[in-house]
Structure 1
Amino acid sequence: MTDFQSVFGAAPAGGWAAPGRVNLIGEHTDYNDGFVLPVALPHTARAAVRRRDDGLLRLHSEQGDGTVTELGVAELTPGAVDGWAKYPAAVVWALREAGHEVGGADLWIDSDVPTGAGLSSSAALECVVATAYNDLHELGLTAPELALIAQRAENAFVGVPCGVMDQMASMCCAEGGALFLDTRDLSQRQVPLDLAGHGLRLLVIDTRVKHDLADGAYAELRAGCERAAELLGLRALRDLPAARLETALDRLPAELRPLVRHVVTEGARVERAVALLDAGDLAGLGPILTAGHASLRDDYRVSCPETDLAAATAVQAGALGARMTGGGFGGSVLALVEDGALDQVAAAVTTAFTEAGYAAPRTFAATPAAGARRIS
């Protein structure tokens, strides 16, 4: 294990952290201008940073191969950087594209956000760099503005057409709460999520699998949603009321109907979940999670055998509800469990994976944590 000084030969100007996220409900709604309800994980990407005046961006990751990647800030262009370094490079590029006169830096990165698990490790990395640059250059950008910079970085530089949920969660979530976010106008409200006070826990089950189908499928799904909205004369699928869903489906090609059904019903599930949290009925989230998984499996078709097995086994073992979380085709499952059932649910899923011939999943309890911040 190295530190900033041993890598770069001097002390950093400060340290920052930004969390990964797990989404309670509201999957694939963010790029449809819909509602989402994520919480920040205690797992974070951390950065020690020092400004440079020579236009060089020097990057070191504790999860990398031990080398330092050097890039010229003025030469950063979309598609020109590979591997993990493209995420911090993308943020610097996006800040400059937005008119902010930022330069080079030495960045030492460490992260315990699981990668490839649908828990937004890339957004955490983007947001910690954006937060550090905002402070070091005294840009005065708000957390939502930094989230939009990070989203722009991932869309235009990295080339992933994601919505804004992951970056907004990493920037804006509060400890002990869930972020009720309208992705159209970015209005938000922190909804109290006192799991411990209700004898509940959130169990994250990282299946440790990611299927190659995800590479182009995300863009295809988004394009299908946009096509459906266009055919229905809507700005986005968010504008289709649940009461008009069945009538609208009759007007669409058969291949688009399941996508629309998921987006509309998922939006309703988010609003129902928020109402339950406001009423203090946290256990009532369980059936909503399970219904959300069924929709992602049967209508949106982004689940896979491993996430289906994890969700079903968790419920059979006593979880109040469970669903896959993240973009899909692997990644993680989120289960709502009573405090005393945490270990038995985790053990049941691990046993089921062994019997199915799958590698053992990683399981951990998630406590709603704070968003991006300076730590030193």
Structure 2
Amino acid sequence: MPAHNTPDPHAEALARTAAEAFRTVYGEEPEGVWAAPGRVNLIGEHTDYNDGFVMPFALPFYAAAAASKSETWEFHSTYDGGSTVRSGRLDGPAVQRVDGWAAYLAGVAWALGESGYPVGPVRIALYSDVPHGAGLSSSAALECAALIALADLYGHEIDRAEAARIAQLAENEYVGAPTGVLDQSASLLCSEGNVMFMDCRDLSREQVPFDLGPEGLTMLVVDTRAPHRHADGEYGARRADCEEAARLLGVSHLRDAPADATLADDRLNRRMRHVLSENERVQATVSILKGGNVSGIGDLLTASHVSLRDDYEVSSVELDSAVDAALGAGALGARMTGGGFGGSAIALVRVEDAPKVETAVLEAAAKADLPEPRIFTARAAAGAHRVL
């Protein structure tokens, strides 16, 4: 699988760390090192599994996988203190006996085989600095780094959009998290300096310039440090609600629901309303960005959060605190990002207001006796690629 982006210095540094871990654990040089980023979704939440529209960009945080062909499957990761997981075979029923973080890697190997791209055993040493449990797609980064490594090592040329579907298959069917294709697509398909507008029905996509500098803006990411687990029942419940709403309306996905549709069930009606309005917000965001007015998307970001909080009910005390504090301190727009139930929020702010917004978010968390958030600035980084 060819490289999709030119690696950045940070990805190269992580790749060297992963290669050193490989040498330490296995006593030999890896055949290569591959890296895949986490992501922020600018707007378009819970629309992916409804065949809707999304707008992610890749974060400059990566999972780096140093790997070589081997006689047995061996996984090493820093995620759990540097332990090594060994298993003889991952085909057939044996895949069900791998769990924990290694399930993401084993799941990718299984999904490649299921999709007609058989792979053999590898040794992998993984190093990642994608914040874990923050709603920034740390699991998708792991999956995509492993996928492009396995594909390259075993000589498979896979279209990036198809690769995203394969990684999604691993997460849905092997790991058991009913996510859409947004996270894997962002990790594999985003490009540096752009936000990616993607139609989740056919995976058609367009890279839209996302340059905050000329308008004196920056994007803050607030990791609330609240637990965030997609495999929990609430995520699956939201997806089931959408499927039931679509069934009642006689459409395959809520993306196809008429704009004036209503449902007797209040909960299902609110789920549908979020999906339809969120798709409209994504399309409006594309138009505004193409017009060169980045600051003009602020109200759309905030409206997205309100919809996710009230209609989709996937926000949390920590996320609402961060969003409200950021807006109160002068952010142009703010919203939760990711699946919700914890995780991270984003805030579009003027550069000169960034310190004030950061302070307000931290003070609000402290006042409410919430975990101290981790706050950093985000830029649109390179997607998955071979680094070394």
Q: Could you state the TM-score of these two structures normalised by the residue count of structure 1?
A: 0.95
The residue aligned with 1:44 is 62
Amino acid at match of 1:51: K
Kindly indicate whether residue 47 of structure 2 is the aligned counterpart of residue 35 of structure 1.
no
Q: C-alpha distance in 1, partners of 2:346/2:175? A: 27
Deviation of the 1:212 alpha carbon: 7.5
Partner of 2:33: 15
The one of 133, 153, 172 aligned to 1:155: 172
Q: Which runs of 5+ in 2 are unaligned?
A: 1-16
1:3 is aligned to: 21
- Partner of residue 3, structure 2: none
Mapped to 2, the partners of 1:78 and 1:165 lie a distance apart of 25
Q: 1:91, 1:150 within 8 Å by CA — same for their partners in 2?
A: yes
* Cα shift at 1:214: 7.1
- Paired residue for 1:360? 372
Q: Does residue 312 of the first structure (1) align with residue 328 of the second (2)?
A: no
- 2:114 equivalent to 1:97: yes
Counterpart code for 1:316: G
Cα 1:76–1:180 change in 2 (3 A) is farther
Note the 1:121-132 alignment, pairs <5 A.
Answer: 121-132=138-149
RMSD: 1.4
1:74 alignment counterpart: 91
2:284 paired residue among 267, 272, 287: 272
Alpha carbons of structure 1 residues 22 and 253: separation in structure 2 relative to 1, 3 Å:
same
Corresponding residue number in structure 1 for 2:162: 145
1:290 to 293, 302, 313: 302
Pairwise mapping of residues 239-254 of structure 1 onto structure 2 (< 5 A)? 239-242=256-259, 244=260, 248-249=261-262, 251-254=263-266
- SS of 1:73's partner is coil
Cα distance in 1 for partners of 2:310, 2:231 equals 17
Equivalent position of 1:195 in the other structure = 212
Q: Which runs of 5+ in 1 are unaligned?
A: none
CA distance in 2, matches of 1:208, 1:328: 12
Structure 1 counterpart SS, 2:336: strand
Aligned residues of 2:63 and 2:130 also touching (Cα < 8 A): yes
Is 1:345–2:357 an aligned residue pair? yes
Q: In the TM superposition, what is the alpha-carbon distance from 1:255 to its structure 2 partner?
A: 2.2
Tell me, yes or no, if the aligned pair for 2:164 and 2:181 is still in contact at 8 Å: yes
* Aligned counterpart, 1:134: 151
Q: In structure 2, what is the Cα distance between the partners aligned to 1:79 and 1:320?
A: 47
Query: Percent identity at matched positions?
Result: 51
1:77-110 deviation line (CA, Å, top 9, x unaligned): 5642221110011000111112222100010000
**Which whole-Å CA distance do the structure 1 matches of 2:336 and 2:305 have between them?**
6
Does 2:306 align with 1:303? no
Instruction: Tell me the residue number matched to 2:225.
Output: 208
* Most deviating of 308-317 and 194-203: 194-203
Q: 1:212 to 1:178 in 2, by over 3 A?
A: closer
Shift of 1:367: 0.5
**1:222 and 2:211 aligned:** no
What is the match of residue 136 of structure 2?
A: 119
Query: Where does residue 14 of structure 2 map in the other structure?
Result: none
**Alpha carbons 1:214, 1:329 under 8 Å: kept:** no
CA deviation vs aligned residue, 1:242-274 (integer Å, no higher than 9, x gap)? 3x2xxx21x432221110010000000000000
Name the amino acid aligned to 1:335: A
Asked whether the equivalents of residues 45 and 109 of structure 1 are also in contact (C-alpha less than 8 Å), the reply is yes
Query: What's 1:176 paired with?
Result: 193
2-side partners of 1:208 and 1:295: how far apart?
22
Separation in structure 2 between the aligned mates of residue 43 and residue 281 of structure 1, nearest angstrom: 27
- Amino acid in the other structure paired with 1:63: Y
From the superposition, tell whether residues 79 and 345 of structure 1 become closer, same or farther in structure 2 (CA, over 3 Å).
farther
1:62 aligns to 2:78 (yes or no):
yes
Structure 2 SS opposite 1:113: coil
Q: Is contact 1:5–1:12 with CA below 8 Å preserved after alignment?
A: yes
Check the 8 A contact 1:44/1:124 in 2, yes or no.
Answer: yes
Deviation at 1:138, TM superposition (A): 1.4
| Structure 1 partner of 2:387 | 375
Note the C-alpha offset of 1:211.
6.3
Q: What do residues 288-339 of structure 1 show as CA deviations (whole Å, max 9, x unaligned)?
A: 1100000000000001111001000001111101000111111000100111
Per-residue CA deviation, residues 150-202 of structure 1 (Å, 9 max, x unaligned), is 00000000011110000000000000000100000000000000111221111
Deviates more, 1:325-334 or 1:342-351: 342-351
Q: Secondary structure of the equivalent of 2:79?
A: coil
Pairwise CA distance, 1:15: 0.6
Q: CA deviation at 1:128?
A: 0.3
Give the conservation status (yes or no) of the 8 Å contact 2:95–2:106.
Answer: no
Distance verdict in 2 for CA 1:78–1:155, change over 3 Å: farther
Alignment-mate amino acid for residue 333 of structure 1: A
